[in-house]
Structure 1
């Protein structure tokens, strides 16, 4: 319905007349509820008389001026009522009873009748406008009671900003039709879960005094809510898979009472025992992941995964979505609208409105390469963030206002009213399954204690916590309600509470006999064939990445030949023609080697996902993994190598690093058999995803005992493009390297890059791979490899100088890494220098020091060993090299002087700096 009909006295008969005329021509041309309204009212003499007979004569004259037969007055009154209905739909959520512990803010104008040109004298007048809410012709009193019941009770609905009128109608009809009636057994079950939530927290509070647990108290109803999600979806939609992400609040409670993790294991973690796996540091108990196959109340088997998370709150959102998408692609036949799987994100109110990752993830929700068929968002709204009131924590009215970005409906629910919570769950599930879009439930409760159980909240919120201290919990409220209705008696309650207390005590005593804590069995089945490897022997073991020349040429002809029956842009045709010509010369450049790595893996049945900003074409117009015809038909030649090959998915991402990198990490978390790559537009922009790199990629194996094979492609190199287009911050990644957790590589030949990518999938284990990829080398005439290098070679961690004629003449060794090698080579050739050997470190971490030792011993007449880098002295590899190799040999450093910025913004200054580096390297 148009906003011009929405509120107060902006009412004109000509507006109604316009709609009515449209209705007469075609009833389907206007919004359905208006069509129903006109059908019932009919605007004729017949209805005029009917309305006249439905009210008393005194009021009749006053409001409708019957003496003057003013039909317009009657119509306008109907329109005022319809306006009132629209206002309840649009603004009713402002006047709900959704806050369990304090008065709501006051919003004006209110929904009082006087604001709509109506009065209490008309409460018993019958109006055709009842058609708009499915009541038919009825009294204004009935209309208002009905509207208050739907829009102003324990549930507040926000949806009128949605642009799809059919979707609005579906939402309104759902609330008009869905009159949920819960059986006595269902109500007893809800009470049982509320008791578990409360009793678990009380038990820990007494047994482990002062320990942090981040209590769920104040939002206990999330437990029966989650139980209802799995029960309802598995029964009605045959859903079998649930991927859940949440932060610390209430996590331990859900692990025990929803995921059914052993109480003894949880209590053992509270007792602070060491982990049996000494090679893992572990994490705090409320960060750990968990996988479970369990049964619903009706005996259906379902799979549940709780994704491990750090304290960076909403960062897990992106991981969940990527994880769910991987399952959709691999298990559920690439049906991104799959009803078989549901991602569920449980947010905190302050984090939801304060963390930018939420916006990034929501923007992914409808995109081809990232959608997961709709996510159910549940907000544990305790009305406070750490110690910050909501008035200081956000500018928006609601913490969920970010949902409006993608026009998702939002339900604000009183967390104390468990049956309303369950009703909201049913709506969320039905909406998600109907439209395959996100939906939000704002579970408005409170936080019983401070941020943690040792924190004193009265320092900053004395009045709020005075109210909380007097407020009964949702279990006690619902218990009294069921007792009053005779659904449960005191003996039932005593038995229920006693039975659960015995379970807790049994777990507590069993925990005493547990000697070691064990990292949870997260994804054990999916990763059972990929052991965690940390010793040098396995890491440096040569991997066979060879493939026949004949096969490479055959694949090259498939992936570099454009279809003859399609029209392409001339430059596209030229690029692919040049590629075929290079193949005929048995040569490949960087881009060709990358595509051939993909092509050979696809031919062997490996699936690939490549995602990031501009990855289809490539930031530097180098890749062209997707080619477009002049009619903009998209063609992926890599998917046309042979029948039953692996498939590659290539997705240009939004301008997001944090969200997309998290998504792809989550994708790789579930799929060890898929080569998953994320490319930064420039390596410098990887810092936008630094939280994912720090908290997941580098430390996930050590904290959570999970492997991940994600590949990061980070364009790096100094070409005078300024501070933000030069450095991928190599030094930062090296600071994260320990315990053989990552591969960090800076290749300088197409063949080495080719073998590196193939090695990643041939390894018997998985490690994240960080690759500093080139920019200028993409078109450097010397940066070429032969097909023989691809077919016969393998990945080389260190590249010695193969141009050396006489080892005995070498007096200077220059060690370097990356693109600076070619500038050093050009300088060496220009000088006709035969005294210098250039040695490239291709795999920076783990560093193969034994091979470096052999190279050093090989050049017996060396007098000087130099480390050369184009990054400033305080950046790049220098600190790492000094730490790792300083005890082997004394290096002299040649690098630009230390700087707070990666590079100068002046191209002329850049040339001077590079020239100075090269001069110092040879003189």
Structure 2
């Protein structure tokens, strides 16, 4: 295929004429060209034809085969040519040159498209689109050329060909699609673009419909500007074509079978989209402008500014019911992108739709954010992966040609803000936002393409921003020329209305009536907003019906989290049973035997087996499980092996999906190397389906740092800001084992700093059984909260970090605090109580037993938040004369110390014990979470263990 690349490359640029002449010469006389080129052309004759098909969209016959003397009698003979060799050569050259020119327009015609409504970016002259580049002169413009059906012509003059190309590719829609490798996709776009069908695509009724949609968009912004002077709303002025664009996408998708659409967007234009697309009541929005809450008084939560909020509704499009939702999100640009696609994946999975055609994501972007935010690529990169595909998203870039005050020359390095989308071979449709018909045509085309090929599509809606970044800013400070042009430009709605009146598609009275009617609707809603109060919240309806808002009880025992012995043994048998005729790795075979032995004896159940028992028993209860993360099928530490690989043929087998025939299933996906994007996807999945256990595992706990925006803005605060519950579990490997600063700490302190208002649970669990109960309680509650788990590394195989089967069975439950388990002296004679959490417990326990210490008790805090006051009090109140220390292996400024210090003091204050405050034992404060030197680590660990146990 290297030769194909040579030909393809040669068909662009200065070599084009030379290659065309050489190829024509070879067709006439193969021996007349350089032997290397002759060999290339001979080897690639059919490939050359494919290139020509690529360039033309038509079929080219291969070079006629010469019949030799050994041919069978009666074989067909080629017709005798009536043209001279010189005429054949000239005609062939003409055709090849014309086809190369046509291909150049398909590849680069968008560079001369009329895309800027402001007229500031004048298309330049590009040599690739110049006929002279391909050997044509002015004398050739009106000579007929055979192009075999391309552009609808069998034979056409060069002038006709260029006119058709410029109309198709250099008008107010510019198309980038020749980077796509799938010939069917390229051909599909080509057939629908060539001939510029949008120029005659709409009758008077359709045009009036577009005008009415523009009227609603334009009138809403004007009304808000007049009624709420000085209020920030991040209006859509200059990009009003966004509203007809969204209507077009939604209508086209609904007609094609989409029944649910989730929209993610930044703040610009959100209010307009809320009322004119997602049908949020105007009276409610205007009440919020006046300072009213978006939630009822009896529902807790901090709320958020109006241009961050979302809503949902059901609409009917041509008889098809479609559920629309606009996702709430913060000002962190693009953070909502993976959340939206995660939500759509959940909906598709709930519906069992493997075609991925019944639900769709529309993701809106600003131009600077699409080019500048890495999360855009992370989201695009997921689009065709097995565990994350959603049938393609439609990306609508509202291209204001400026980011805050930053011009494109400072905002991105490529030709367009949308260049990153080429990485996933998405077609890109650039369209002039001041041509609403072109916009509607392009968006309809995008939705049809998505439904046909189940891939992402990008629409670059080139427009402008009439005001500053918000309505109170002066944009002329930094962009005087742009804003001089904007000030002189009529609105998109005004220009379109004038055009339709001029062509008699609507009358002036009809255009005015559209404005008057909508203004009256706005005025009525404005008056009604004065007395409006929200009477209910919609957050516990639909799929969330039956769940409740959590109360303030921090240490409730949920519905039963234990499982029956029958279920436990059934799951245990399945996870230790490889299929027949399966070439299992010998090391894994030994692990499965160990699991089998632990289940049969009821002793020695390790962390990974406890986890599998939680998953399997939930599945037998009817709950699906979804686990994703980097290398999570095997597990970073080779502990999980939830998916077995045949060593001969690499076939996969998931034991948990083979417990019994009628069970729910688990999906376990090794994710792409992304934290921000994948965690956002899983959050979106979890907020969409409360009946699935959704888990994301970091390869090492601190890798979650790369997703901090998602953690801060969605996971920790999504419920209080937007009334959106989430039961997502984050598994973060944590523990100091001398592996250096980047593989030690999951940054427990950061999650604890985010804890308030009972917003999530944060645990550092020390036994497989408690891990089992923590996972199961996620779905056994009548509410959902995120769960952040510091998970072990060395403890995965620690001989003491095991549980018995009885600790999973009826009568067992989650333990917020685990009291002392060894036999010590009488409680009143204990001199010290060491409170700790996680892995350091086993270091303390081993050393205490080694030294035979009997007067130091060790209590494990399994859940940091909500803080278990009652359970901790019960665990330490008997030690009336003991001092209390908090022991951790993290540096003093990390880990749990600053969080538990005053809380432990509060517990001690309620007791009659001698101790009134805990004392810290652990590593000194440090800028880095751990040393990178094994000897230093070992010395530090030994010192803190010794100090904790030395009375």
TM-score, reference length from structure 1: 0.94
**Matched position secondary structure for 2:459:** strand
Task: Confirm or deny that 1:543 pairs with 2:559.
Answer: yes
Q: Is the contact between residue 383 and residue 389 of structure 2 (CA under 8 Å) also seen in structure 1?
A: yes
Post-superposition offset of 1:453: 0.2
**Contact 2:818–2:875 (Cα < 8 Å) also in 1:** no
Alignment partner for residue 139 of structure 1, among 150, 157, 163? 157
CA apart distance, 1:536: 1.3
CA, structure 1 residues 158+402, in 2 after alignment: closer, same or farther (shift >3 Å)? Answer: same
Once the 2 structures are TM-superposed, how far is the Cα of residue 141 of structure 1 from its aligned partner?
A: 1.4
Aligned residues: 900
Deviations 1:682-734 (CA, angstroms, capped at 9, x unpaired): 10101111111000000001000110000000000000000000000000000
Q: Which residue of structure 2 lines up, in the alignment, with residue 583 of structure 1?
A: 599
The match for 2:315 is: 294
SS at match of 1:739: coil
* Residue number in structure 2 paired with 1:57: none
User: C-alpha deviations, 1:196-251, integer Å up to 9, x for none?
Assistant: 1111000000100010111111111111111112222222x122111110010100
Q: Which residue of 2 aligns with 1:388?
A: 406
- Closer, same or farther in 2 for the Cα pair 1:124/1:242, shift >3 Å? same
Judged with a 3 Å threshold, the aligned counterparts in structure 2 of structure 1 residues 29 and 267 are, in CA distance, closer, same or farther, namely: closer
Which residue pairs with 1:2 in the alignment?
8
Q: Does 1:828 align with 2:828?
A: no
Cα RMSD (Å): 2.2
Q: Is the 8 A contact 1:219 1:382 kept in 2?
A: yes
Say which of 867, 887, 898 aligns to 1:868.
Answer: 887
- 1:315 paired residue number: 335
Q: Could you say if the C-alpha distance between residues 202 and 915 of structure 1 is closer, same or farther in structure 2, counting changes exceeding 3 Å?
A: same
Shift in alpha-carbon separation, 1:221–1:46, aligned structure 2, 3 A = farther
1:403 aligns with 2:430: no
1:97 corresponds, among 103, 110, 114, to: 114
Task: Give, in whole Å, the separation in 1 of the partners of 2:491 and 2:443.
Answer: 21
On the 8 A contact 1:519/1:705 being kept in 2, the answer is no
Please name the residue that 1:777 is paired with: 795
Does residue 1:246 correspond to 2:252, yes or no?
no
User: Where do residues 340-419 of structure 1 align in structure 2 (5 Å cutoff)?
Assistant: 340-419=358-437
Q: 2:86 maps to which residue? A: 69
- Distance of aligned partners of 1:24 and 1:612 in 2 relative to their CA distance in 1, 3 Å threshold: closer
**1:884 equivalent in alignment to 2:903:** yes
What whole-Å deviation, never above 9, does each CA across 1:369-425 have from its counterpart, x for those lacking one? 000001111100000101111111111111100111111110110011111111111
Shift of residue 649 of structure 1?
0.4
Q: Report what 1:324 is aligned to.
A: 344
Q: Is the 8 A contact 1:546 1:790 kept in 2?
A: yes
User: Contact 1:534/1:741 (CA < 8 Å) preserved in 2?
Assistant: no
Which secondary structure state, in structure 2, belongs to the residue aligned with residue 744 of structure 1? strand
Greater displacement, 21-30 / 840-849? 21-30
Q: Structure 1 residues 301, 31: CA separation in 2 closer, same or farther (over 3 Å shift)?
A: same
Q: Secondary structure at the match of 2:301?
A: coil
Moved more, 493-502 or 812-821: 493-502
Q: What is the SS of the residue equivalent to 2:314?
A: strand
Task: Show the counterpart of 1:634.
Answer: 652
From 808, 812, 816, the counterpart of 1:793: 812
Q: 2:504 is matched with which residue: 443, 467, 486?
A: 486
The alpha carbon displacement at 1:106 in A equals 3.3
Q: Secondary structure at the match of 2:416?
A: coil
Shift of 1:22: 7.6
- Contact 1:23–1:35 under 8 Å retained in 2: no
Residue 155 of structure 1 pairs with residue 182 of structure 2:
no
- Give structure 2 stretches of 5+ with no counterpart: 1-6, 28-37, 67-77, 910-915
Q: Deviations over 1:139-171 (max 9, x none)?
A: 111111110011000000111112223322222
Q: Which position in structure 2 is the counterpart of 1:55?
A: none
In the aligned structure 2, how far is the partner of 1:290 from the partner of 1:48? 71
Identify which of 892, 897, 905 aligns with 2:924. Answer: 897
Pick from 152, 155, 170: which aligns with 2:188?
170
1:560 aligned to 2:581?
no
Contact 1:668/1:674 (8 A) holds in 2:
yes
For 1:266 and 1:530, how far apart are their aligned partners in 2? 27
Residue pairs, 1:496-645, within 5 angstroms: 496-514=514-532, 516=533, 521=538, 524-536=541-553, 540-587=556-603, 588-630=605-647, 631-645=649-663
Q: Return the alpha-carbon distance in structure 1 between the equivalents of residues 229 and 570 of structure 2.
A: 69
- Is the CA contact (8 Å cut-off) linking 1:245 and 1:344 kept in structure 2? yes
CA distance change for structure 1 residues 739 and 414 in 2, over 3 Å: closer, same or farther? Answer: same
Query: TM-score under structure 2 normalisation?
Result: 0.91
CA-CA distance at 1:103 after TM superposition: 2.4
Q: 1: CA distance between counterparts of 2:269 and 2:148?
A: 44
- The 2-side partners of 1:642 and 1:37 are apart by 54
**Whole-angstrom distance in 2 between the partners of 1:129 and 1:8:** 22
Number of the residue aligned with 2:98: 81
Cα distance per residue 1:855-874 (max 9 Å; x no partner): 33211232x11000000001
1:234 aligns with one of 243, 249, 254: 254
SS in 2 for 1:651: strand
Distance 1:208 1:845 in 2: 43
Distance 2:349 2:743 in 1: 34
Distance 1:28 1:123 in 2: 26
The whole-number CA distance in structure 2 between the counterparts of 1:191 and 1:919 is: 78
- Distance, in Å, in 2 between the alignment partners of 1:794 and 1:522 is 30
Contact 2:52 2:99 in 1 (8 A): no
1:90 and 1:160 in contact (8 A); partners too: yes
SS of the equivalent of 1:536 reads: coil
On the 8 A contact 2:344/2:685 being kept in 1, the answer is yes
The alpha carbon displacement at 1:14 in A equals: 4.1
Cα offset, 1:582, TM superposition: 2.1
Offset at 1:29? Answer: 6.1
Deviation at 1:886, TM superposition (A): 2.6
Q: How big is the shift at 1:107?
A: 5.7
Question: How far did 1:279 drift?
Answer: 2.2
SS of equivalent to 2:175: strand
Structure 2 distance, partners of 1:423, 1:47, is 49
| Per-residue Cα deviation, 1:566-620 (whole angstroms, up to 9, x for no partner) | 1112112121112112223212111100001111111111110001111100000
- The offset of 1:334, in angstroms, is 3.9
What residue number does 1:198 align with? 218
Give the C-alpha shift of residue 882 in structure 1. 1.4
Distance in structure 1 (CA, Å) of the matches to 2:403 and 2:551: 40
Distance in 2 between residues matched to 1:411 and 1:713, nearest whole Å: 40
| Separation (CA, whole Å) in 2 of partners of 1:43 and 1:196 | 65
Task: Give how far 1:549 is off.
Answer: 2.2
**Alpha carbons 2:168, 2:196 under 8 Å: kept:** no
* Distance of 1:622 and 1:427 partners within structure 2: 48
**Which residue of 107, 115, 136 corresponds with 2:133?**
115
Give, in whole Å, the separation in 1 of the partners of 2:156 and 2:522: 55
Inter-CA distance 705–437: structure 2 relative to 1 (3 Å threshold): same
In the other structure, the counterpart of 1:683 is: 701
Change beyond 3 A, Cα 1:520–1:552? closer
In the superposition, relative to structure 1, how do residues 251 and 800 fare at CA in structure 2: closer, same or farther (>3 Å)?
same
Q: Distance in 2 between matches of 1:129 and 1:830?
A: 90
Counterpart secondary structure, 1:160? coil
Deviation, structure 1 residue 71: 3.9
Instruction: Tell me which moved more, 179-188 or 497-506.
Output: 179-188
Moved more, 601-610 or 110-119: 110-119
Given that 2:558 and 2:781 are in contact with CA atoms closer than 8 Å, whether structure 1 keeps it comes out as no
Q: Spell out the pairing of 1:619-768 with structure 2 (5 A cutoff).
A: 619-630=636-647, 631-768=649-786
Deviates more, 1:246-255 or 1:299-308: 299-308
1:474-529 CA-partner distances (Å, limit 9, x unpaired) = 11111011101111111112211111110000000000112x45786357322121
